[in-house]
Structure 1
Amino acid sequence: MDAQRRLRLILDPPRDGPWNMAADEWLLHSTYERGEGCLRLYRWQPATLSLGYFQTAESLASHPLGNALPTVRRLSGGGAIVHHHEWTYSLTLPVEHPLAQDRLGLYLRVHRTLLDWLATLGFSARIFQSENAGSGGAACGSLAEDRAPAGEREESDRRQGKARWPGKGVGNAPSGGKCPFLCFLRRSPGDVLVQSADGSIETKIVGSAQRRARSAVLQHGSILFAQSPFTPELPGLCEMHANRRHGTSADAAAAAAFRADIAASLAAVDALQDWDRGFPDQWLPLLKQSLDCRWERSGWSSEELSAIQRLRLRYDDPAWNRHRRGLTA
């Protein structure tokens, strides 16, 4: 029982997409061997588009972001994410760990601590429930289980959802059953939604996905701190705090204006800087209490760094990132 309560804690500096995904894969593989889980908190540099495991090259090629950013494919399912002004966490647990038994329960255990953190900042936030999805549009309103191709005995949750904007009806999910390309335009049970001060906007701020192997579970998720110039249709905490958005993807003038002043805007918002710097220290105690764990902070060993460098060969490979081909997942 004491071993189950121990969780390794890694606070990484910003890294590129291939390194981050290789590190998460290494933790998935090594968690069972170590007999204990790990929580890793990290960021991305440069800004990167990560594809869900099951997303197709065709969906990437047909989207405006297809050639705009470095692209890496995740081991987990769900929609694409632009990792720019955000924090990412990854949590790995052995399959026999009590918290790993309930798939949706693990999402909720983590996301409720983020609700508590948001409340300390004065945000009105809630957990999305499937009954809120409404009817019509894409069939993206329930937590689904995706399986890897035949011959692999691993599975992944595809985090799907339908975007719903109060006062604007149900949108972002085209008719015919297709889910939006971007994760943060989808809605799934367990997602964290934040409401603007005047109640005119409710947007997804936290989304997570899982990969389940025979021996361990990987859950990683993103917390959107600010709008990216690459996705002006997605407001972050900064914009919700200011109760405004910088246009939509169809509003070219607003998007261009946002790209021009993003650096100045972020520097000028003291609240955002405080949230960004203080996030690990503010959130980790809440998560520790919820998981009933004991952090054991450590860095990477030289052996681990060598293993990650070997694994990143896959995530540097265009055949993997575009077509899920090449080195075996």
Structure 2
Amino acid sequence: MPLPTRWRLLVTPADDGDRNMAIDHALLDRAAHTDEAVFRIYAWAHPTLSLGMHEKARLEPDAAATRGIAVVRRPTGGRALLHHREVTYSVTAPARDASLRESYDAINAILLDALTRLGVPAAPAERRGRPLAPDGAACFAEPNVGELVVDGRKLVGSAQRRDEHAFLQHGSILLADDQGLVAALRGTTAPPPAATLTQALRRDVDFDEVRDALIAALEHAVGPVSTLAVGELAPAIARHVATYRDPRWTFRR
């Protein structure tokens, strides 16, 4: 597997969007100075619209606030999605150990193993023409090549950011489909329904079940992993959270 041999696991409770992104950014900082990868599993305290780093906001702050939806801009690229009934993962690791494609494929293998353990027949999407533009339709409207789909519909949306020292990949595994709200917030046409675990398995699926499948798949791939305490990241989180709370970052055009 073209990723570090030393892994840590971080499972964090549901949190606000700005802290969730600050934690991921702190983990990216950490990866640049260690030889460890960290697999994080987390949820969101409130429904939160996240925007890709290079995406135009294309909505006013009040449009989301009146619906009880928070807005945050991610440190990774990609397109807008709504975090609500889902499980979110992130992987941070030194960049020297694998190319973008190698690391993406290796992480996909862990995700696919977890989905198989749940009984979900997912597969990587094939290319359907030109790559999707950052300001195109919402994230779950159409899969990019390599993203995980069920019956051609995206189930897991992932994005990766890397520099010469480290990379961060994170993504969302949908329990249920709330993605139509992205179009409602922007006044655009609603996309086709996304794939969800509830729909694929024809039963309710909760966070704990997916968390356990992800941990089992990770340990099957890399062996036993030790846990990381979020408190170890406190100074870096405090440094980054101000950026993710700043409307000038979130709503930049």
The alpha-carbon deviation at position 225 of structure 1 amounts to 1.1
The alpha-carbon deviation at position 61 of structure 1 amounts to 4.5
TM-score normalized by the length of structure 2:
0.84
Indicate the residue corresponding to 2:142 in structure 1.
186
Amino acid at match of 1:230: L
Shift of the 38–119 alpha-carbon distance from structure 1 to 2, 3 Å rule, reads closer
Is the aligned partner of 1:311 residue 2:244? Answer: no
Query: For the Cα contact (< 8 Å) 1:43–1:87, is it kept in 2?
Result: yes
Amino acid at match of 1:87: V
Query: For the Cα contact (< 8 Å) 2:17–2:72, is it kept in 1?
Result: yes
Indicate the residue corresponding to 1:251 in structure 2.
none
Is the aligned partner of 1:286 residue 2:210? Answer: no
Shift of the 66–109 alpha-carbon distance from structure 1 to 2, 3 Å rule, reads farther
Stretches of 4+ moved more than 6 A in 1? none
Amino acid at match of 2:205: L
Shift of the 39–113 alpha-carbon distance from structure 1 to 2, 3 Å rule, reads closer
Indicate the residue corresponding to 1:5 in structure 2.
5
> What secondary structure does 2:241 align onto?
helix
> What secondary structure does 2:122 align onto?
strand
Query: For the Cα contact (< 8 Å) 2:34–2:94, is it kept in 1?
Result: no
Is the aligned partner of 1:213 residue 2:159? Answer: no
The alpha-carbon deviation at position 295 of structure 1 amounts to 1.2
Indicate the residue corresponding to 1:174 in structure 2.
none
Show CA shifts across 1:220-252 (max 9, x none): 11111112273684342213334xxxxxxxxxx
Show CA shifts across 1:83-142 (max 9, x none): 101111111111222xxx221222222223322333333333211111xx1x5xxx435x
Query: For the Cα contact (< 8 Å) 1:5–1:294, is it kept in 2?
Result: no
* Corresponding residue to 2:205 among 268, 272, 277: 272
Amino acid at match of 1:239: Q
Show CA shifts across 1:204-234 (max 9, x none): 0012111112311111111111122736843
> What secondary structure does 2:55 align onto?
coil
> What secondary structure does 1:211 align onto?
strand
Equivalent-residue separation in structure 1 for 2:65 and 2:99 (angstroms): 35
Q: Which runs of 5+ in 2 are unaligned?
A: 183-189
CA RMSD of aligned residues (A): 2.6
> What secondary structure does 2:153 align onto?
strand
> What secondary structure does 1:323 align onto?
coil
Is the aligned partner of 1:241 residue 2:180? Answer: no
> What secondary structure does 2:44 align onto?
coil
Amino acid at match of 1:209: A
Query: For the Cα contact (< 8 Å) 2:27–2:92, is it kept in 1?
Result: yes
Equivalent-residue separation in structure 1 for 2:145 and 2:195 (angstroms): 20
Amino acid at match of 2:252: H
The alpha-carbon deviation at position 314 of structure 1 amounts to 0.7
Report the more deviating stretch, 82-91 or 121-130: 121-130
Indicate the residue corresponding to 2:43 in structure 1.
43
Number of aligned residue pairs: 239
Query: For the Cα contact (< 8 Å) 2:125–2:149, is it kept in 1?
Result: yes
The alpha-carbon deviation at position 277 of structure 1 amounts to 1.9
> What secondary structure does 1:44 align onto?
coil
Amino acid at match of 1:241: L
Indicate the residue corresponding to 2:173 in structure 1.
223
> What secondary structure does 2:154 align onto?
strand
Equivalent-residue separation in structure 2 for 1:235 and 1:193 (angstroms): 7
Shift of the 76–43 alpha-carbon distance from structure 1 to 2, 3 Å rule, reads same
Amino acid at match of 2:173: I
> What secondary structure does 1:72 align onto?
strand
Equivalent-residue separation in structure 2 for 1:293 and 1:205 (angstroms): 26
Amino acid at match of 1:300: V
Taking the TM superposition and a 5 Å limit, the aligned residue runs for 1:99-248 are: 101-130=98-127, 133=128, 139-140=130-131, 179-180=136-137, 182-195=138-151, 202-228=152-178, 230=181, 233-242=193-202
Indicate the residue corresponding to 1:198 in structure 2.
none
Show CA shifts across 1:286-329 (max 9, x none): 22333x3541212123x6224312311111110010117xxxxx
> What secondary structure does 1:60 align onto?
coil
